[in-house]
Structure 1
Amino acid sequence: MAKKLTALPKNVSVETMNKAIKEFVKILGEENVLIGDEEMVPYKKIMMAVPIEEHMPSLALQASTKEQVIAIVKVCNKYVIPIWTFSTGKNMGYGTAAPAQRGTVILDLHKMNKIIEVNPDLCYAVLEPGVTYQQLFDYIHEKGYKLWLSCPAPSAIASPVGNTMDRGVGYTPYGEHFMMQCGMEIVLADGSCFKTGMGGIKNSTSSTVFKWGYGPSLDGIFTQSNYGICVQMGMWLMPEPPAFKPFCITLDTVEDVEKIVEVLRPLRIANIIPNAFTIASTLYEAAGVVNRADYVDGNRSITEAEIEKIKKDTGMGSWNVYAGLYGTPEGNEMNWNIIQSVVNANFKGHKFLTSKEMGDDPVFKYRADLMRGYMTLQEFGLYNWRGGGGSMWFAPVSPAEGKHTLNQSALAKKIMNKYGFDYVAEFIVGWRDMHHIIDLLYNRNDPEEMKRAHDCYAELVHEFAAQGYGVYRTSSGFMDLVAETYGPEIRGVFQKIKRALDPKGILAPGKSGIY
């Protein structure tokens, strides 16, 4: 007896799907074509506040080679079957593996996990999409290469290719991941395949060291889009510095966040602070190390008095600034003296904390590990704060100006408290931009709370956009909502490109609001 599909794509009949499935089996083997409730369990896990039924995939295909991906795409194009591609599907706060549209076929690339090359002299790697940060980290250490990775917070199980394709960020001086990408191999909707940049030259010597090639630069249009499938990527790695000095500055009052951005921004732009510095709120730091139930009674929002008690019990500040120094011991010491003198001249009641003072403190160690590209899963501790498996990342971007901190945090706190949720957030200050990372934590097992979380997220999107703050990433359940805030003009351009490269609309319909 044939296994029953968990869902069907829009406008695709069971008969058509069965024809396609027969061809998928010929390409992949039956063991790599997953059908039915039991086999689809790994693909049903979502943390966003929408019913899984709205994002239920029909089946999952596990490809191991570029040739298999090409063959699958040709079948999908033949039968007009939509397909949603991911690298490892561990993008927890942004939708995991869930497609934007119900019934879409999942193309799971985690078995495409070859490390094609790591060059220790030119400091780059060439990877397939299924390679994880942990796998690449282990490979580099086994080879004894003096190279560092830049990785997102829940690093070990995530994919460098997948994170870069979604324009994720890290915490080292190489933290702008798409900036450090060099060369892609792309499969298009008709099954054709090409390499970007210098990769178009046969036996190219420069595809992983020079980004641009000749003619229009195409790499960017394949990030956060549904124009093609990346099956190989080159990325630059950071040479291990002679010395690394992570540090933390704790600030006692909430209002200090505005001034610290103004004080440290010139040092960041001048590369005296070489990496994006993080300004984490008390709750963002505490959520992974204390129990909410010890401070808050019930599901209401936490109060300022309760946050103050957490600060007192943990020794954390209202804001906790993390950054690192990379270079020679002498150079680091010179920059450290500059940072101390500037901060001391502008603040009182703050603390400077380094490895010497913090020792094995788990929060400091976690931040230090992130800033040197070590593997960690500690950020998942956030999900224990409220419990119930619900988490949605809300991530607006602004200029790196202090005035935007208090404005944004007050707006976010007002909206989140209105719906009974806690403001758990951090600011990440880049060269000139500032990301405001907010984790909307809720109980997904409570239908009423899930609805509140959905409405809260929607209001955050609308209200922040109204004040000029655009979201740079979102989960598959809110892609249309976020796309609408960017206006019809740019969406029209996106659609024109889509129609040119994928006229039947088979690749990831709904990705970033593009169909």
Structure 2
Amino acid sequence: MANTDSSTGALPPGISAAQFDQALAKFRALLGPDLVLTDEEQIAPYTKIMVAEETEKHMPGAVVLATTVEQVQGILKICNEFRTPVWPISTGRNFGYGSAAPARAGTIILDLKKMNKIIEVDPVLGTALVEPGVTYQQLHDYLSENNIPLWLSCPAPSAIAGPLGNTVDRGVGYTPYGEHFLMQCGMEVVLADGEVLRTGMGSVPNSNSWQVFKWGYGPYLDGIFTQSNYGVVTKMGMWLMPAPPAYKPFSIRYEKDEDIDLIVETLRPLRIAQVIPNAMVFANVMWEAATIIPRSKYYDGKGVTPDSALEEIKAREGIGAWNVYAALYGTPEQIEVNWAIVKNAVEASGKGRIITQEEAGDTEPFKYRAALMKGDMTLQEFGLYRWRGGGGSMWFAPVSVAKGSETVAQMNLAKAILNEHGLDYVAEFIVGMRDLHHVVDVLFDRSDPEETQRAHACFSKLLTEFGKRGYAVYRVNTAFMDQAADLYGPTKRAIDQKIKRALDPNGILAPGKSGIDI
């Protein structure tokens, strides 16, 4: 039962307990008592973080759940009245980037999971319009149940995540539609003052092109509502991929760490030419192993996993030092032509063993990778959190150009910093198009205060040392948003703040998100 007095969460900064109780009373009057969560037991699911900081630093003041746009407007009105900060979430499954918890203690969480309508799917144009609480699993089931031959593009923890939340945080997937913000078209946004903005063609009365033409007229606005705290996105249009007549996933296994240079140089031209139309993943031995086995199967000691254990894993589990995943899409004739190009390129390079679905069968991790690359649901990659155990995870994801010359030095630098702090280099490179994402999962034991402290220092050093070399992350967890923002320079931060002051003068929306404050 909802607490009808004060909250057991943290107080918002500058707000007295009496003032906060008044705000909570107004939330209950607007939403009903069951949609205002204040008891410790009710708030607990929103406090489960994986970052290397104390839970208290991210303790929410309360949780409110909206079911309509009008309720979102009403919530923001109350937040403005009492100067109470509010942190909007959709599904709250942003593991490794901060989960559902706010960046700062005392912030009220605005949970939008009950706004979960699939408003429209156009099977002819391949478009969808969804609310924040819609999950990939829900949308996948809708397409299946209605025999609509469209594919989703989803992140690795697909089933429980949602397309709106993933897209506005500029997440990615593994089909040819994997650059999710590129495939977004039209937003409805509740601004801090309660005004409702429809971007693009959505602001035209009776328009039928909201989900097909991104740009509208005048300045393009959708981008400022991604990775920001300028508004609450309550609807989003997206483009879905027509199911191809044929699909051919494949893997290429390489035996040496230093092969990563050759891998990028061999396959990047095929990606740019659209011979390989989806983002290519190059996963290292520990990333692959973590999705199928615990580390303790081969090494049960403390600190860095020794090379001898990794060699044993490679030999016994059939895993390469680097494991490439990509796919071909189209008619059987198109795939046959492109498959010959891929095989010739790999053979000409002199390294790499190609593995097809026929050879791999139902074995993991090939099976879940093949599912991801066609937009099917999987949670297999959560095996990463079993590798060391202890519930600690922070994703470090610097971006550079897709050239082999970028890879070996980055790999050696990241590995050295992680090993210095007693942690493993669990990583993958992803070639999106011309960009190269170097994704490292900093895994640690949150139940061990000393290891948590080391993990925090490690992540900070990764940001610093990569930043010195011109590499910055494209997303980051809630513990390091300010440090990541600093990498982009004072002018960028100043402009972010100017926009914030203009759209949210009371600074109520997600303070600290992406390092942005008033």
Q: What TM-score does the superposition give when structure 2 sets the normalisation length?
A: 0.98
1:374 and 2:376 equivalent?
yes
Give the corresponding residue for 1:196.
199
1:128 and 2:127 equivalent?
no
**Structure 1 segments of 4 or more deviating over 3 A?**
none
Q: Secondary structure at the match of 1:345?
A: helix
Q: Secondary structure at the match of 1:435?
A: strand
Q: Deviations over 1:221-267 (max 9, x none)?
A: 00000000000000000000000000001011111110110111111
Deviation, 1:292, is 1.0
CA distance in 2, matches of 1:324, 1:295: 31
CA distance in 2, matches of 1:356, 1:485: 46
Give the corresponding residue for 2:149.
146
CA distance in 2, matches of 1:119, 1:27: 34
Q: Within 5 Å, which residues of 2 pair with 1:335-354?
A: 335-348=338-351, 350-354=352-356
Q: Secondary structure at the match of 1:5?
A: coil
User: 497-506 or 19-28: which moved more?
Assistant: 19-28
Residue identity matched to 1:292: R
Q: Deviations over 1:455-481 (max 9, x none)?
A: 001100111111111100011111111
1:479 and 2:472 equivalent?
no
CA distance in 1, matches of 2:301, 2:432: 37
CA distance in 2, matches of 1:145, 1:219: 28
Residue identity matched to 1:225: S
CA distance in 1, matches of 2:200, 2:504: 21
Distance change in 2, residues 1:297/1:362 (3 Å): closer
Give the corresponding residue for 2:467.
465
CA distance in 2, matches of 1:385, 1:200: 48
1:62 and 2:65 equivalent?
yes
Give the corresponding residue for 1:489.
491
1:439 and 2:441 equivalent?
yes
Q: Within 5 Å, which residues of 2 pair with 1:377-388?
A: 377-388=379-390
Q: Deviations over 1:158-203 (max 9, x none)?
A: 0100000000000000000000000000000111111000111001
Give the corresponding residue for 2:506.
504
Give the corresponding residue for 2:181.
178
What 5-or-longer segments of structure 2 have no aligned partner? none
1:261 and 2:264 equivalent?
yes
What 5-or-longer segments of structure 1 have no aligned partner? none
Q: Percent identity?
A: 59
CA distance in 2, matches of 1:6, 1:173: 43
Q: What TM-score does the superposition give when structure 1 sets the normalisation length?
A: 0.99
Q: Within 5 Å, which residues of 2 pair with 1:72-83?
A: 72-83=75-86
Q: Secondary structure at the match of 1:24?
A: helix
Residue identity matched to 2:420: K
Q: Secondary structure at the match of 1:271?
A: coil
**Residue in structure 1 matching 2:328, options 316, 325, 328:** 325
CA distance in 1, matches of 2:48, 2:58: 10
Q: Secondary structure at the match of 1:454?
A: helix
Q: Secondary structure at the match of 2:41?
A: coil
Deviation, 1:206, is 0.6
Give the corresponding residue for 2:315.
312
Q: Within 5 Å, which residues of 2 pair with 1:233-312?
A: 233-312=236-315
Give the corresponding residue for 1:16.
19
Deviation, 1:2, is 2.3
What's the RMSD between the two structures over aligned residues?
Answer: 0.9
Residue identity matched to 1:365: K
Deviation, 1:362, is 1.8
CA distance in 1, matches of 2:186, 2:7: 41
Give the corresponding residue for 2:113.
110
Query: How many residues align structurally?
Result: 514
